[in-house]
Chains A and B, each alone.
Chain A
Amino acid sequence: MKWLRSHLVGMFAVLALVYLFIPISVIIVLSFNKPAGKFNIRWNEFSLDGWTNICGVPGVCESFLTSIQIGLISALAATVLGTLIAFALVRYRFRGRSTTNLLIFLPMATPEVVMGASLLALFLNLQFPLGQTTVIIAHIMFIISFVVVTVKARLQGMDPRLEEAARDLYASPGQTFRYVTFPLVLPGILGAALLGFALSFDDFIISFFNAGTLVTFPIYIWGAAQRGIPVQVNALATIVFISALAIVLFVQIRGQMKRKSLTAAPANPATIDVLPRS
């Protein structure tokens, strides 16, 4: 009874985590499947086809590379633009702050379908040709807000006395930024960029509205869902899942090692790199 009482929440938590991973295990298991019909939804027979012949189905790898390319460009651009905004918000006073805040908040409170549709409406009205450019424009737009929020939290979590100490120790404003501010905010910026890439890579709705004939990886899956998703898609998704997990775990573990070696400093919540926190 007492044991149950103190472990009840823990058991719920573990069950919730298991629930989160059920579909993931289905994806991974089905990547080793040899589907009976064209739909890869039921286990039939073990096969390595999806892995040994990963680009075997026309269009899969092309769409995968397209998504990586779009993700890299969008994440880079949005990180630069968003970081600049975050610095302005935290470090400068200016008129129109509430409008600025609203314009950053709204994209996060707007359903993707509305953003996708409204951009499409704009491009149609301007008769702007749809394709990779329009998709990248759209991705940068919806990633910026997430970058601003992430970097801003990091900047606000920074002790302002550190910069004052640098200035006290003969650093010019430029040197203060280069040797103190930037290195301290960098983990936040990298985390934001990683998040931006993930958001872009996995985005379907906004891309679908603005892609025209361009096929990104999610758009490929959407199309394939009607006629049967090839096992190769499961294999590629598994690769993405495992490598993302590896990157995050690596960053976290390295961060923890660093913190352990600096036992004198109390653990600062702002040092979790990929999971931006308050």
Chain B
Amino acid sequence: MVVGVAAKGGTSIAPGAQRRSRTGYFLLLPGMAWLGIFFAIPIATLFMTSLQAPVEGASGQYAPAFQVSNYADAIIEYWPQFLRSFLYAGIATLLALVIAYPLAYFIAVKAGRWRTLMLVLVIAPSFASFLLRTYAWRTILADESPVTTFLNALHVLPDDRILNTSIAVIAGLTYNFLPFMVLPLYAALERLDPRLIEASNDLYANPITTFRKVTWPLSLPGVVAGTLLTFIPAAGDYINAELLGSTQDRMIGNAIQTNFIDFRDYPIASALSFMLMAAILVLVFAYIRRAGTEDLV
């Protein structure tokens, strides 16, 4: 699923094989209409809702307006959540990269006949419910659990506990989106010609230099795709913060959810959503441009 995004899209078929005819539009129409009506229009609605003003005297009712101050209000009240979202997602993405890279490298380069089985094992955890998997971390990281006891014995935990701290939230995010990191990395490393590694060894590069100068640069498309596919859902997630963190660890997703569903403050919730989406898109495009791989679609 994820690898598809990582795949180089530029290999379009020779022009001769493509036909220009009305059939093309007919094939596109139903699906694109669906995306237009239920994705594009809702985003537009979201934007309009974010500018609505409360109706005087009728609590919970909002009317179309151009109240830009909603955005200011949202930022003033929720900037810590914004900050936390990007910080937690960023740290989780880095950790996932560190864990996923050796795994993906091993599967792509060394696993041989175990390759398929290992790939299946990477995606298999996704078959168990996301919520239950996250909930299971409550058991693993509980205060008297072996993990916590061990780390406490080493005196490395600032609060002597993991559960209901930011560490647990970041651990949960790292865990949950790890397969999204592994698969694109695998796809990139699998394309790596092993002879390039040999050539580098032959040309006086030791294993570390070979990694720095050959393997890493050639796997960059996978790194870019993997970090995006991990960072985006992690930044918008609120399940990990809700199930594993304390009220001090709430992320922007929690704020959107409570404002929409509990407070029914639609303009503020919409402003938050819209800003989250805009921030992510800006980050994504800046990142892709910097990494020089624009063929993500």
User: Interface on A for B, CB 8 Å cutoff?
Assistant: 9-10, 12-13, 16-17, 19-24, 26-27, 30, 41-42, 81-82, 84-85, 87-94, 100-115, 117-122, 124-125, 137-138, 140-141, 144-146, 148-150, 152-153, 156, 160, 163, 195, 198-199, 202, 204-205, 208-209, 217-218, 221-222, 225, 229, 233-234, 237-238, 240-241, 244-245, 248-249, 252, 256, 269, 272, 275-278
A217: chain B residues at CB < 8 Å are 129
B162: chain A residues at CB < 8 Å are none
Question: B137 interface residue, CB < 8 Å from A?
Answer: yes
Pairwise interchain contact A42-B139, C-beta atoms closer than 8 A: yes
Pairwise interchain contact B32-A222, C-beta atoms closer than 8 A: no
Bound CA–CA A222/B238 (angstroms)? 12
Pairwise interchain contact A41-B138, C-beta atoms closer than 8 A: yes
Q: Which of B45, B110, B137 contacts A118 (CB 8 A)?
A: B45
Pairwise interchain contact B45-A244, C-beta atoms closer than 8 A: no
Q: Mark B114-142, 1 if CB is under 8 A from A, else 0.
A: 00111111111111111111111111101
Nearest neighbor of B101 in chain A, beta-carbon distance: A12
Pairwise interchain contact B99-A19, C-beta atoms closer than 8 A: yes
Classify the secondary structure of A's interface with B.
Answer: helix
Pairwise interchain contact B30-A84, C-beta atoms closer than 8 A: yes
Per the CB 8 Å criterion, the residue count for chain B at the interface is 107
Nearest neighbor of B163 in chain A, beta-carbon distance: A41
Count of CB-CB pairs between chains A and B under 8 Å = 308
A104 and B276 contact, Cβ closer than 8 Å, known pairs A93-B19, A113-B236, A209-B260: no
Pairwise interchain contact B105-A9, C-beta atoms closer than 8 A: yes
A275: chain B residues at CB < 8 Å are 3, 119-120, 123, 183
Bound CA–CA A7/B124 (angstroms)? 24
B178: chain A residues at CB < 8 Å are 16, 20
A110 and B30 contact, Cβ closer than 8 Å, known pairs A17-B121, A92-B24, A141-B35: no
B148 to chain A, nearest CB (A): 13
Q: Which of B223-256 contact A (CB under 8 A)?
A: 228, 232-233, 235-239, 243, 252-253, 256
Question: What 9 pairs between A and B have smallest CB-CB spacing?
Answer: A111-B236, A92-B24, A278-B7, A149-B4, A81-B31, A13-B106, A244-B127, A118-B42, A23-B136
